[in-house]
Amino acid sequence: MKKIVLAFSGGLDTSFCVPYLIEKNYEVHTIFVNTGGTSKKEEEKITKRAKELGAKKHENVNVDASLWKQIIKPLIWSGSLYQDKYPALCSDRYLIVSEAIKLCKKINTKYISHGCTGMGNDQVRFDLSIQAFGHYKTITPIREIQNKVDDVRGYEQQYLIDRGFKVSTLHSTYSINENLMGATVSGSEIDEWKEPSKESYILCSTPDKYPKKSKKMTIEFSKGEAKKINGKSVKGPELLRMLNKIGGKYGIGREIFASDTIIGIKGRFLFESPGISILQSAHRALEESIFTDKQNFFKPIVGKKWVELVYGGFYFDPLTKNLENFLEDIQLPVNGKVTILLSPGKAEPVAVEAKKILISKEAIYAQSASWGVEESAGFIKLLGQSTATWTDINKK
Look up the CATH number of domain 2-62+88-162. 3.40.50.620
| Among the listed residues 263, 7, 256, the one whose alpha carbon sits nearest the alpha carbon of residue 121 | 263
Least confident of 9-13, 331-335, 360-364: 360-364
Check residue 363 and give its pLDDT. 63
The rounded mean pLDDT for the chain is 94
The CATH class for the domain spanning 181-353 reads alpha beta
pTM (2 decimals)?
Answer: 0.92
Contacts of residues 142-145 at CB distance under 8 Å and 24 or more positions apart, as own/partner, are 142/13, 142/16, 142/17, 142/115, 142/116, 142/117, 142/118, 143/116, 143/117, 143/118
In tens, the pLDDT along 98-121 reads: 999 999 999 999 999 999 988 889
**How far is Cα 168 from Cα 347, in angstroms, rounded to an integer?**
40
Give the pLDDT band of residue 171 (cuts 50, 70, 90). Answer: low
Q: Going by DSSP bridges, is the β-strand pair 57-62/111-113 parallel, antiparallel, or unpaired?
A: unpaired
Q: What is the mean pLDDT of residues 245-262?
A: 95
Cα angle 315, 260, 100 (rounded to 5 degrees) comes to 30
In tens, the pLDDT along 47-57 reads: 999 999 999 99
Give the pLDDT band of residue 292 (cuts 50, 70, 90). Answer: very high
59: pLDDT strictly greater than 80: yes
CB–CB of 347/115 below 8 Å? no
**How far is Cα 126 from Cα 118, in angstroms, rounded to an integer?**
12
Q: What's the order of all strands across the beta sheet hosting 175-179?
A: 175-179, 182-186, 266-272, 254-260
90: pLDDT strictly greater than 60: yes
Q: What is the mean pLDDT of residues 385-392?
A: 89
pLDDT, greater one: 374 or 200: 200
In the chain, list all ranges with CATH 3.90.1260.10: 181-353
Q: Sign of torsion, CA 109 114 120 125?
A: negative
Question: In sequence order, which residues have a C-beta less than 8 Å from that of residue 257 and are 6 or more positions away?
Answer: 83, 85, 86, 268, 269, 270, 271
